[in-house]
Amino acid sequence: MNFFEHQQRARRRSALLVLLFVLAVAAIVAATDLAVLAAFYLIDTVQLDGLIPFPVWLQQHPRLALWTGIITVTFIGSASLYRMVSLSRGGSAVAQMLGGARVDPDTRDPSRRQLHNVVEETAIAAAVPVPEVYVLEGESGINAFAAGFSPNDAVIAVTRGMLENLSRDELQGVIAHEFSHILHGDTRLNMRLIGASFGILAIALTGRMLLRAVAESRSSSHDGRAIMAGYAFGLLLMVIGYIGVLAARLIKAAVSRDRERLADASAVRFTRNTAGLAGALKKIAVSPLRAALVSAQGEEVSHMLIAEHAGLFTRLFASHPPLIERIRLLEPRFDPAELEKIKLEPMRQVAPGAAPEPTPVPELLGLAAHRVVALVGAPGQPSRPTAATLDQDIAPALKEAAHSPQDAVDLVLALLLGADPALRAVQMQRIAARRPMVALGHIENLAAQVQRLDTALRLPLLDMAFPALRQRPPLELRNLIGLVDDLTRVNGMTRIFDYALSRLLRQMLAETLAPSARPHARLKLNALHAEIQILFALLAQAGHAEPAEAQAAFAAGLRRLLPSLTLAYAPPQPWVEALDNALMQLDRLPPLVKQELIAALAETVLHDRRVMLAETELLRVICACLHCPLPSLQAAAA
């Protein structure tokens, strides 16, 4: 199953989630109605000292069931809405809800520095922004999860027990597993699942809180009847709520189980190291604490974890396949008796910033359109050495600025400054009007180092700086978006590199400021001929100096996508706003149609069998705007 098939399946799972949620609410409403009607019927019967036929009594209270149902639905809906609003900030809200502490990129702690390095390398290889990294300090079990509505607001969190017990290879396997969830959109579905399940679980949580409150007030209260009523009502809520607990677990099992197998397979394909992830799963299997979280919100996020705690109804209600089954899929000859030989020992300490030398697996990848499509959302081994060498290719001052919340904004502005002195002077005037004067010298110093940086490393440097940018206040980020647009249009003719950088940055920041905002209405390909013409014409122009060659590449791509349609090769001028509008509309295509679109775009890029940096940068940004992350084609071609 490739990226686009996974996306299509995720859409069907979203519809299944809605259906199961409605059925669960209906079951809870029915149980609540039954309990309330029974309670009031018994009270009336006792007070009247005689048995009233239930149908007769029900006719005397025709609206009791209706109002009970309305109140129950309102309560569940309000609880779900409350949880969804509380998570609207994205993945960081989930990590902080569980008590996670953000890992500073410049931390001196060896294990946390190693964790951040692994996450950063994996993100750059996958061509997505580096997620924020959290450690659940209060959790000694071995577990991890990824959360967020998109790669631009995603976070990866690991437990303290994972840091203490896994080797670097095992940690890398776990991180690759979590990146699979980010790349394939699983995290977005998981966020919705948290909101839905919280509403279903809310009745049981309320019953538990009521029983606890009654027990605490028992010693100070002399009203025995009130205490008994409180106990009875609390137990009633717990019994009804248990239906919600079972329903929530069934929903998680139906939505999540297959995705864990796919994430395991994607992690192995990404790292080319089966032993890493298999070793991590084995340690989880032998850990006394397994995957249990001590946090009170552990039940809400159980479907997001890399492994869940084995309970009474594991087979039926588990959101994950059994650990032994997952290990055997990775290592078919695995014998469960081997688990007895595994001992959990603290991870060997590493020097700050140290990382093992990459061990790439030789892989010949002939660049063809179907190969490019296969790379989307599934970067392979060729990308990893490229990511690992960034630490050597990027100047220390640039890396330090990329990791600093105070300097990341200056670094972004330095990346956008042009090489021409006259153009740069005008850009600096625009910056001076919006930024403090003390920042101008720092921006110019960073710009001098950026000029010596390989052009192909500018987008990876932006990915590296993104976690620091996310730490800035929302108002400052909105002002930065406006300033970036202003700088890229100073000379009236934006370069491809400038557009790629600014458009990617705007996409990242916009989804950070509004993580859950994404268009839901889908469009058909036949309604977007004008947008398709703009997209293919600009991509062909970016990779071919001669108009005749560009026109041939344009025609080749369109022939693959729409063989019966003839469109004129006419790159728009000005083109920036036209391309922005086209990408906004094309993002509303269904996943499998996006697959055909990207294959046709790759056909345009590869038409002359030469891959130019300008066209690959533009192709990467196009794919990012379509929410289909594409790794470096240069690394793949190598």
Question: How big is the CA angle at 80 (ends 77 and 82), to the nearest 5 degrees?
Answer: 105
For residue 370, count CB atoms less than 10 angstroms from its CB and return exposed for 0-12, middle for 13-18, buried for 19 or more: exposed
CA gap 220, 199 in Å, rounded: 33
- Looking up tokens 């892989």 gives 363
CA distance between the termini of the chain: 25
Kindly give, in sequence order, each residue whose CB lies less than 8 Å from that of residue 369, ignoring residues fewer than 6 positions away: 560, 599, 600, 602, 603, 606
- Looking up tokens 């890493």 gives 276
Q: How many CA atoms lie within 13 A of 513 on its CB side?
A: 16
Taking the CA atoms of 407, 408, 409 and 411 in sequence, report the sign of the dihedral they define. Answer: positive
CA distances to 5, 109, 269, 505, 582 from 184, rounded to whole Å, are 10, 31, 14, 21, 23
Q: What pairs with residue 157 in β-bridges?
A: 134, 145
CA gap 603, 615 in Å, rounded: 12
CA gap 134, 267 in Å, rounded: 20
DSSP for residue 305: B
Active-site position among 121, 170, 178, 615: 178
For residue 316, count CB atoms less than 10 angstroms from its CB and return exposed for 0-12, middle for 13-18, buried for 19 or more: exposed
CA gap 636, 364 in Å, rounded: 9
- Nearest CA among 72, 68, 82, 25 for reference residue 200: 25
In a 3-state reduction of DSSP, which class is residue 145?
strand
Asked if 477 and 469 count as a contact pair (C-beta separation under 8 A), the reply is yes
Kindly give, in sequence order, each residue whose CB lies less than 8 Å from that of residue 482, ignoring residues fewer than 6 positions away: none
Kindly give, in sequence order, each residue whose CB lies less than 8 Å from that of residue 193, ignoring residues fewer than 6 positions away: 17, 251, 252, 255, 256, 303
Residue 178 annotated to the active site: yes
Q: How many CA atoms lie within 13 A of 132 on its CB side?
A: 26
- Looking up tokens 């069934």 gives 250
- Nearest CA among 255, 307, 301, 321 for reference residue 24: 255
Active site residues: 178
